[in-house]
Amino acid sequence: MTTLRDAALTSKAWPFEEARRLLKRVEGQGKDHVLFETGYGPSGLPHIGTFGEVARTTMIRRAFEVLSDIPTRLICFSDDLDGMRKVPDNVPDPEGLRAHLQKPLTSVPDPFGTHESFGAHNNAMLRRFLDTFGFEYEFYSATEFYASGRFDDTLRLAAERYDDLMAIMLKSLRDERRETYSIFLPIHPETGRVLYVPMKHVDAAEGTVTFDDADGREWTLPVTGGQVKLQWKPDFGARWAALGVDFEMYGKDHAANTPIYDGICKVLGGRPPEHFTYELFLDAEGHKISKSSGNGLSIDEWLTYAATESLSYFMYQKPKTAKRMHFDVIPKAVDEYHQQLRAWPEQDAAAQAANPVFHIHSGQVPASDMVVPFSMLLNLASVSGAESKDKLWGFINRYAPGASPEENPQLDRAAEGAVRYYEDFVRPVKVYRSATPGERDALEDLRDRLRAWEGAADDEALQGAVYDVGRERFDPMRDWFRALYQVLLGADQGPRFGGFIALYGVEETADLIDRALAGDLATD
């Protein structure tokens, strides 16, 4: 029988493809572990891109663990020694932070008053964020990494090979930037600010740098012990060398820098890790999502309407393809995720290896209790005017008598999210239209069939009745279903209509048709 490991060796699922590439790198190397890294700039709160990067890296990590018995580690590295370049708008007393511009974030007072520094506050938010979603990781602070001496050997080597490192960087800079650029950023001994100044001298033997500050005073500092930090691009590659990173993924906006990162790593005696470059998320208009502009969808907003697993499912899908990250992707993500859960138990090892839910749940795949799709719950909320999930449960219990909030927690969470989603996004834009004469005739026929219905409210039988009405009058049949959705539901598309009737109720659907034919629904 084919095992999951056998299937993983040939699976086209992208986490397994990346894991196989990584396995080739480390086979025969005698490594006692494989190191994954993700980086974080702690200038603000964690966002949906942070979730995506850690979730996808974890998917590859778990895929590697299927293929190999070599232990793995994941480091989440916070660049909290970076200088605060601007004062955030979303903090208490932003003016009070202005005096601390260009200081390392771990030297800036915490405006929230809960931690020893702004950097420590944001690091705590990051760790809480990662812990909430159950990620397994080790947290590294750049401030501690530099100050503790763990980076010292790499920094001394950077001083020794300063010219080679500068040659890599200067190729990528404009002429005016080259005049003042240095890979080293000294931290002023008096002001505590991170200085962007040219180096007058780099002493390879002593491991020191000499520079003038803004007042023209000359200083000489050791590159070790956290008194000097590296510019962010050299720092990226230097971390790879210092830590022995085997894998790191980053967004397409970093892709052009990959030769720089790799070159820095090699000059510092390291072997560049395997990379994975993912496409960026777009907002509803197709613009790149950014923290500063606040466009697109935040993780808190997603979780207002749907569970974390649906977000993980969205992250899994085609990471090398740019995708719109907007509210209208949520219903589809929820329903497709549960379709995959339902498929899992009957699949063989090869299909399971390719199923997104394996990678979302690291192989520990739960059962789906969604006896009603999320899209159907939205339509039910619409026609019933539900303002709480309790009203939806009245319909659900009739459709699936054994279901309950206690026995179907996924469905209960989805019902709550569907009501919120309907109120926020569907109700404001709903437009019902009147039926045409031909559509009116078909709707009257369907209503009469429902009034005369004597059998059980069976999805398939009711779908057959809907088809019979439409088949006699519409070609193509999609015109009939479009009419049902637009006239009865105020939408351009909708659920499998027989299932909707079974859920909403046969008599209730007949009444809905009467209301539509009487003009009580139409907004055109």
Q: Which amino acid is at 375?
A: S
Please report the pLDDT score of residue 466 as a whole number: 96
Give per-residue pLDDT as tens, 402-449: 999 999 999 999 999 999 999 998 888 889 999 999 999 999 999 999
Give per-residue pLDDT as tens, 177-197: 888 999 999 999 999 999 999
Q: Which amino acid is at 65?
A: E
36-50 b/e (C-beta count within 10 Å ≥ 16 → b): bbbbbebbebbbbbb
Residues 292-318 have a mean pLDDT of: 84
Q: In which band, very low, low, confident or very high, does the pLDDT at 142 lie, cut at 50, 70 and 90? A: very high
What is the three-class DSSP state of 468? Answer: helix
Please report the pLDDT score of residue 287 as a whole number: 67
What is the three-class DSSP state of 472? Answer: coil
Give per-residue pLDDT as tens, 98-113: 999 999 999 999 999 9
What's the rounded Cα separation, in Å, for the pair 131 and 319? 23
Token code pair at residue 225: 């012990």
**Torsion sign, CA atoms 313, 316, 317, 319:** positive
Q: Which of 177, 194, 222, 199 shows the shortest CA–CA distance to 79?
A: 194
Please report the pLDDT score of residue 176 as a whole number: 84
Q: What is the pTM of this model?
A: 0.91
Q: Which amino acid is at 351?
A: A
Please report the pLDDT score of residue 323 as a whole number: 82
Assess whether pLDDT exceeds 90 at residue 387.
Answer: no
Please report the pLDDT score of residue 95 as a whole number: 87
Cβ-Cβ contacts under 8 Å for 111 (sequence gap 6 or more) = 91, 92, 93, 94, 96, 97, 118
